[in-house]
Amino acid sequence: MLSKKISFILLIWSFWNASSIFAQTRALELKDGEKSWDIGKKEMQVFEDKSRFMTLKKVLAAEEQFKNVSVDVPNYGYSQSAFWAKFQLKNPLNTPQEAWVEVDYPSLDSVGFFVVNAEGETIKKVEAGFLYKFEQRDIKTKNFVFSVHLAPQETLKILLRISSDRNNTFPIKIWKPDTYLNHINNHYIGFGLYYGIMFVMLFYNLFLYTVLRERSYLYYILFIISVVFFLGSFNGYGFQYLWSGLPAFNRFNISLFIAMLAFSGVNFGREFLNTKVRMPKANRVLEIIMLICLVAIVLALVLPNRISIKLSVFMGLPSVITLLYVSFVSLQQGYKPARYFSLAWSVFLLGAFLTAMRSFGWLPHNFVTLYSIQIGSALEVVLLSLALADKISILRKEIADKEVEKERLEKDKEKERREYSEEQNKKLEVLVQERTKILEERNVQVTDSLIYAQRIQQAILPSKNDMIKVFPDIFVYFKPRDLVSGDFYWFAEKDNKAIIAAVDCTGHGVPGAFMSMIGNTLLNQIVLERGITRPAEILNQLEDEIRFALKQDTLEDGNKDGMDVSICVYHQVHNILEFAGANNSLWIVRNGVIDEIKGDRMGIGGDKKENYSPYNNHILKLAKEEAIVYLATDGFADQFGGDKNKKFMASNLKKLLLEISPLSLKAQHLKLNKTMEDWKGENKQLDDQLIIGFKIKADAHRQKIEVSYKEFATRKTEQPHKFTR
């Protein structure tokens, strides 16, 4: 009797063991009217294959080793094991159904999908994963989606084999096909919005960098790019759209981009918080972290992914924490630009922390932990853009405040001096009157001297009548900043050639005037006495003479003054224009088009030139149409003014000259004067201003002597370029 009872118990146990899948978990019924179902702890069992080599057949033979799970979304963190998940799907309807099984974790290395019928036959097998080509997937989406066909009243067993060197998390959900397509489209809209924000911020800051040339923007652009590529790898969109045919890249891309993100973020933080100047010790720590990040970037390419990903995560979080600490310290020290910066990195740290905790299996898999890094990075990018704008605004305000404070201090000092002067006035009234009289006499003497110097300087300037004889249509816009000028214009005729120059000497006022006298005298000697008429050779001779006159090559601390020159020679017979420039250009307007002939980037005189080369000569053969030639110094272009109190700029002067070129030369002169007065407003004139414009007409008498352009251009210069005393 006892033996019969034992036999009965063993029979029951064997039956229980053989049908454990049906007894321990319930089959999920795909009822009509429902669109999706979550596979959770009530429907799923998991078996850990520590060898990673068990086949489906062996797993089915050892089903008793499957265990119930305590959570709806299994998360085994970083593990070298393979995990088998199984559950059942039942079609309670009398019509066939198709269901899609989704594993909502796109960065798994390997996902094997198996469908087993009631007779134990494997009716479907699909291999997919991060280490397989994207085209091998059953349903082409960023997540792993597999289709299952269920006959009426059929129950099928589903097994999934999960293996990954990264986090082993596998949330499973069952969808009806049309419902899933609607779901994934909404998902694409959400991520499209996210990447849209990132790219808008990327191009916005790229634009600001091109305008402001602030290095912080460049480092921030690199940081945004690192974030975009990291999240593109993490959420599967990069594999789906960018490198779907390169699954080997997925072995190291996440750890690589985490290290790049940390490196670019720390580099940006150093620049933004100005730690090199404000916090030298913290700056050294950040430099060490950057070095570690570079090492991590290299190691990500050679180490196994399960090691490099841990290294990158454990290195990335301290990087963010250190940056956050430095920003809070900066904020406590009163560095206002750190406000948005601290908030931005706090948001990003929270998102990264939640993601890391979920990756290691320490937090559950839900919407917050799954998308915290995307939400945090998007908010961070926006906040950091605000931080950069805030920093520039604060710096500008600080500069303005310093100027206001400086002005206030100057006013206070002036008030103190005035009060002191008033107190001492009674005692020193007679002495002050005597000194005032002496100062007035000296001031009159100085002013008279300057006025006399002005007359002398005006006397050496070319006669406008002489210039008009050659160029009937000509204007000279000449506005010295002071009574005497460092700018001057020069004109001469030699051998049927008209030579005209615009010269900008170092300095302005009296020092500039002295240089202008020297320059004028040397030009007269070179052209009128020596007969040099080739523009480049004139500049070469002028260079030698200036350096000799000011002893610039013989004295270690010699004079460093010099001049910028644009000089052109018009051959009246051949209708040819030659030009050479020392730091100055020539503009010529023909047929409504303005061309710029640039001079050499080398002034006359100044510091000793190590690699001096002769000036270049430019030859322009003029056709029979009219041409307007302009020479100018930099005073007009460098004048501050306008709504934003910026320089006028040479590019704007070029546009202005083209705009006014259809006008008469007299009208052009008036237009230039009005434009400068409107631009300057209440600002002081900063430098001497000189612009020469003259019109060239191809008259018949200039064609009497036929000389080919090629023959003219290749003939030798009148004098060797090096003048020997």
pLDDT band at 704 (very low <50, low <70, confident <90, very high): very low
Q: How far is Cα of residue 495 from the mean position of the Cα atoms in its chain?
A: 55
Averaged pLDDT score across all residues of the chain: 82
Distance CA 455, CA 536 (A): 31
Instruction: Please tell me the least confidently modeled range out of 9-13, 30-34, 407-411, 482-486.
Output: 9-13
Q: What is the mean pLDDT of residues 42-61?
A: 90
At residue 404, the pLDDT reads 81
Amino acid in the structure at residue 286: L
Cα of 195 vs its chain's centroid, Å:
19
CA distance 42 to 537: 96
Please tell me which residue, 110 or 374, carries the higher pLDDT value: 110
Q: State what percent of residues in the chain have pLDDT above 90.
A: 34
What's the pLDDT score for residue 146?
95
Q: Which of 20-34, 112-126, 685-699 has the lowest mean pLDDT?
A: 20-34
pLDDT for position 699: 57
CB 140 within 8 A of CB 95: no
Six token digits for residue 94: 């009398």
pLDDT, position 113: 95
Signed CA dihedral, 178, 180, 186, 192: sign only:
negative
Residue pointed to by tokens 């004048």: 639
**Of the candidates 49, 58, 50, 64, which has an alpha carbon nearest to the alpha carbon of residue 15?**
64
Q: In what order do the strands lie in the sheet with 144-150?
A: 36-39, 172-175, 97-103, 144-150
Confidence of residue 429 (pLDDT cuts 50, 70, 90): confident
Distance CA 249, CA 140 (A): 19
Detail the DSSP E strand segments found in 151-300: 155-163, 167-169, 172-175
DSSP state of 267: H
Amino acid at 221: I
Residues of the chain with pLDDT > 70, as a percent, come to 86
DSSP-derived secondary structure letter, 614: P
Rounded mean pLDDT of 312-321?
Answer: 74
pLDDT grade, residue 526 (50/70/90)? very high
Token pair 């002191």 is at which residue?
420
Report which of residues 257 and 393 the model is more confident about.
Answer: 257
Whole-angstrom distance, CA of residue 52 vs CA of residue 16: 27
pLDDT of residue 241: 86
CA nearest neighbour of 191 among 229, 221, 232, 227: 232
Check residue 14 and give left, alpha or beta (phi > 0: left; psi -120 to 50: alpha).
alpha
pLDDT digits (tens, 9 = 90+) for 187-223: 778 778 877 877 887 887 788 778 777 777 788 888 8
> What is the reported pLDDT for 358?
60
- Retrieve residue 285's tokens: 């720590």
Q: Could you read off the pLDDT of 366-376 as tens digits, one per residue? A: 666 666 767 77
Q: Of 304-313, 561-570, 575-584, which range is least confident?
A: 304-313
Q: Dihedral of CA 309/312/315/321: which sign?
A: negative
Distance CA 112, CA 125 (A): 7
- Of the candidates 582, 589, 651, the one whose C-alpha atom is nearest the C-alpha of residue 620 is 589
Distances (CA, A) of 635 to 41, 458, 461, 685: 81, 19, 19, 9
Phi, psi for 578 (deg, rounded to 5): -110, 150
Inter-residue contact 476 to 692 (CB < 8 Å): yes
Phi–psi pair at 24, nearest 5 degrees: -80, -30
pLDDT exceeds 90 at position 647: yes
**Which is more confidently placed, 542 or 558?**
542
pLDDT score at 541: 94
How sure is the predictor about 659, in pLDDT bands with cuts at 50, 70 and 90?
very high
Please, which pLDDT band fits residue 365 given cuts at 50, 70 and 90?
A: low
Residue holding tokens 């000449």?
A: 478
The encoded tokens of residue 93 equal: 């309807």
Q: What is the pLDDT of residues 260-309, one digit of tens each?
A: 888 888 888 888 788 888 888 888 988 888 888 888 888 888 887 777 77
* pLDDT on residue 556: 66
593 pLDDT more than 70: yes
pLDDT of residue 22: 38
User: Count of CB atoms within 10 A of residue 482's CB?
Assistant: 15
- Predicted confidence (pLDDT) at residue 529 exceeds the cutoff of 70: yes
Spatial distance between the Cα atoms of 527 and 534, rounded to a whole number of angstroms: 9
pLDDT reading at 709 higher than 60 = no
The 8-class DSSP code of residue 81 comes to: S
Q: List the one residue out of 308, 212, 324 whose CA is nearest residue 266.
A: 324
- Nearest-CA neighbor of 384 among 198, 192, 196? 198
Question: What string of DSSP letters covers 202-229?
Answer: HHHHHHHHHHH--HHHHHHHHHHHHHHH
Judged by phi (left if over 0) then psi (alpha if -120 to 50, else beta), residue 282 lies in alpha
State which of 102-111, 310-319, 345-354 shows the largest mean pLDDT: 102-111
Residue-wise over 137-171: b if at least 16 C-beta within 10 A, else e? bbbebbbbbbebebeeebbbbbbbbbbbbbbbbbb
Q: How many CB atoms lie within 10 A of CB 475?
A: 22
Judge whether residue 706 has pLDDT over 60.
no
Query: 138-142, 261-265, 485-489, 542-546: which has the minimum mean pLDDT?
Result: 261-265
pLDDT for 238 equals 85
Q: What is the mean pLDDT of residues 606-617?
A: 83
How many Å apart are CA 271 and CA 252, to the nearest integer? 29
| Claim: this prediction has a pTM higher than 0.85 | no
The model's confidence at residue 91, banded by pLDDT at 50, 70 and 90, is: very high
Contact 326, 342 (CB under 8 A): no
The amino acid sitting at 222 is L
Cα separation values, 292 from 285, 299, 318, Å: 11, 10, 11
Least confident of 89-93, 308-312, 470-474: 308-312
The pLDDT assigned to 673 comes to 95
Q: What is the total residue count of the chain? A: 725
Cβ-proximal residues to 652 (8 Å cutoff; 6+ apart), any chain = 637
Token pair recorded at residue 191: 């991520």
User: Phi, psi at residue 104, to the nearest 5°?
Assistant: -90, 60
Rounded CA-CA distance 717/725 in Å is: 19
pLDDT value for 23 = 39
